[in-house]
Amino acid sequence: MTLDLSLTRDLLTALLPELMLTGWALVLLVVVAWRHRTGGDLRVAGGIALAAFATTAAVVWWLWWNSAAAQGYAPMIAVDDFRFISDWLFLGTGALTVLLSMRYLEREALLAPEYYVLLLFSVLGMMLMGGGSDLMVVFLGLELMSVSVYVLAGINRKSPKAAEAALKYFLLGAFASAFLLYGIALVYGATGTTNLALIGAQVTSLHLEHGTLLLIGLALLLVGFAFKVAAVPFHMWAPDVYDGAPTPVTGFMATAVKAAAFAALFRVLGQAFATTVAWHQIVSALAVATMVGGNLVALAQRSLKRMLAYSSIAHAGYVLVAVAAGNASGSAAFLFYLVAYTLTTLAAFALLAVKGRGGESDVLIDDLSGLATERPWLAFALAVCMLSLLGFPGTAGFMGKWYILVAAAQSAQWWLAALLVLTSVVSAGYYLPVIMVMYMRPAPSAAAHADVRLGRLAGAAVTLAVVGLLFFGIRPNRLLDLSAAGAESLRTPTAAAVAPPGN
């Protein structure tokens, strides 16, 4: 199916997933305006959110199945496999987050069904980030996502910690957005356009590879994105915000928000700045700092939530290696790793949410002692997550790291490859103690884990994630093929890139 995006009908078809989700979000907004008092209302809102994600995913699948492609003048929204795969990733993460949140919200007495509305809007923002082929669309998507997540981080109004987390996230997030926007303005000044394909064409035709204005703009763009993915040295907000936010929201932030920022970064660098070599070194340096910094500080953490926060910083470093590799296998590894990382981290935070009950008291790693005898399945799931984060063979995390390693080796980035292996070894120093404590220490008292219950929906979500992890760890081929196809669709320039900019 070829879409001519200058026709309204075809444009609406291309935007159908986003329009669908917007419609659902508005419907849900009206519903919760009338029903927002009881736990039952919360469940209704959650059900509607799940239906929204399911139908939107079906529409994305329909476009994908018909191999929709755009033609004609450079569009503002991309119609390619990369967009469809990342849309599925965001929608899936959103749906899993809904499943994890249902019981959690009732347990913590957070009777705010607006939670699900904000979740829908933030996923909508992510879809625009993954699909936007214009810097302005990427920026608006990023803001839609960020503003929704600022509120989600502080949704627990009774908790001073959540308020503090929301404040820090908001101030630093807005600060980072301003950098990103200034970068967009300067790139616009240098090339006269904000369309990614046209920027790429202008850079080649005007020989702007070393133009000052363009390079400053690119650097500011990278700073903005580095803040959003929490790359060292722009990571200071992440541990505090992850610690203070409600645990399902933390899981959502550590996975979907990060994945969306990475998807946008990847598209911007790949389509607009493919011929500008300057960013390779900057991204490599960020990757080195992030891998080393994240892993070393994670070693010192006693609290499970903070440890996972630093671990998610370290994983951003591994993904940056795939971005820095800049070749075809790097792009495929990038998408594969995002899927593996998202499944693992979301499951880990879901398990943490059931343990950390009663007003978000800190869960120390030692608090898990003896979990394996009391709750063998929970302990098993958490152990699988830790092994996958570590990159143990047989899990999706291993395959992801392996592909990134191959990509780095192929582009002769030996330092990055060596550092990735070394820091992964270091990370065993904080992932394995969790497993050791669960399986080798006795529970402090018989009732220590008595109130640890996952609930049916969250249980289903965690089971799905863990089965997925093990499945992709043993049979990664199908997912890798999809990722490679998605990455390839970014590299083949569309017909639009040929059209001259309109100024």
Partner 1 sequence: MLLGPALAVSAVLFTIGVAGVLIRRNAIVIFMCVELMLNAVNLTFVALAQRLGVSGQIFVFFVMAVAAAEAAVGLAIILAIYRHRETVDLGKINLLKG
For residue 181, the minimal CB distance to partner 1 (Å) is 5
Is 18 or 240 the residue whose CB approaches partner 1 more closely?
Answer: 240
| CA–CA distance, 69 with 57 (Å, rounded to integer) | 18
Taking the CA of residue 172 as centre, how many other CA atoms within 13 Å lie in the half-sphere pointing to its CB?
Answer: 21
Is 181 or 321 the residue whose CB approaches partner 1 more closely?
Answer: 181
Is 356 or 486 the residue whose CB approaches partner 1 more closely?
Answer: 356
Q: Are 299 and 366 in contact (CB under 8 A)?
A: no
* 360 phi/psi in degrees, rounded to 5: 60, 40
Is 156 or 255 the residue whose CB approaches partner 1 more closely?
Answer: 156
494: amino acid identity, one letter: T
For residue 338, the minimal CB distance to partner 1 (Å) is 26
For residue 67, the minimal CB distance to partner 1 (Å) is 31
For residue 27, the minimal CB distance to partner 1 (Å) is 21
| CA–CA distance, 317 with 49 (Å, rounded to integer) | 32
Is 184 or 420 the residue whose CB approaches partner 1 more closely?
Answer: 184
Is 154 or 397 the residue whose CB approaches partner 1 more closely?
Answer: 154
Is 108 or 240 the residue whose CB approaches partner 1 more closely?
Answer: 240
Q: Which residues contact 288 (CB under 8 A, 6 or more apart)?
A: 317, 415, 416, 419
Is 32 or 166 the residue whose CB approaches partner 1 more closely?
Answer: 166
For residue 166, the minimal CB distance to partner 1 (Å) is 5
Task: Output the six-digit token pair for 8.
Answer: 């309204």
For residue 107, the minimal CB distance to partner 1 (Å) is 22
| CA–CA distance, 384 with 299 (Å, rounded to integer) | 19
Residue with tokens 């810097």: 135
The DSSP 8-state label assigned to residue 501 in this structure reads P
Q: Which residues contact 456 (CB under 8 A, 6 or more apart)?
A: none
Is 94 or 154 the residue whose CB approaches partner 1 more closely?
Answer: 154
Q: Are 78 and 70 in contact (CB under 8 A)?
A: yes
For residue 160, the minimal CB distance to partner 1 (Å) is 4
Q: Are 151 and 161 in contact (CB under 8 A)?
A: no
> Is the Cα torsion angle 347, 436, 363, 428 positive or negative in sign?
negative
Binding site for partner 1 (CB under 8 A): 136, 139-140, 143, 147, 150-151, 154, 157, 160-161, 163-168, 170-171, 174-175, 177-179, 181-182, 185-186, 188-189, 192, 194, 236-237, 239-240, 243-244, 502-503
For residue 165, the minimal CB distance to partner 1 (Å) is 7
For residue 185, the minimal CB distance to partner 1 (Å) is 4
Please measure the distance between the N-terminal and C-terminal CA atoms of the chain and give it in whole angstroms: 31
For residue 235, the minimal CB distance to partner 1 (Å) is 9
Is 111 or 185 the residue whose CB approaches partner 1 more closely?
Answer: 185
For residue 409, the minimal CB distance to partner 1 (Å) is 35
Residue 96: closest CA among 46, 134, 143: 46
487: amino acid identity, one letter: A
**Collapsed DSSP state (helix, strand, coil) of residue 132:** strand
Is 191 or 284 the residue whose CB approaches partner 1 more closely?
Answer: 191
Q: What share of the chain is helix, strand, coil (3-state, %, to 5)?
A: 75, 0, 20
Three-class secondary structure assignment of 337-374 = HHHHHHHHHHHHHHHHHHHCCCCCCCCEHHHHCCHHHH
Residue 42: closest CA among 95, 97, 108, 115: 115
For residue 167, the minimal CB distance to partner 1 (Å) is 5
Is 186 or 257 the residue whose CB approaches partner 1 more closely?
Answer: 186
Three-class secondary structure assignment of 295-328 = HHHHHCCCEHHHHHHHHHHHHHHHHHHHHHHCCH
DSSP string, 437-461: HHHHS--SSTTTTTT----HHHHHH
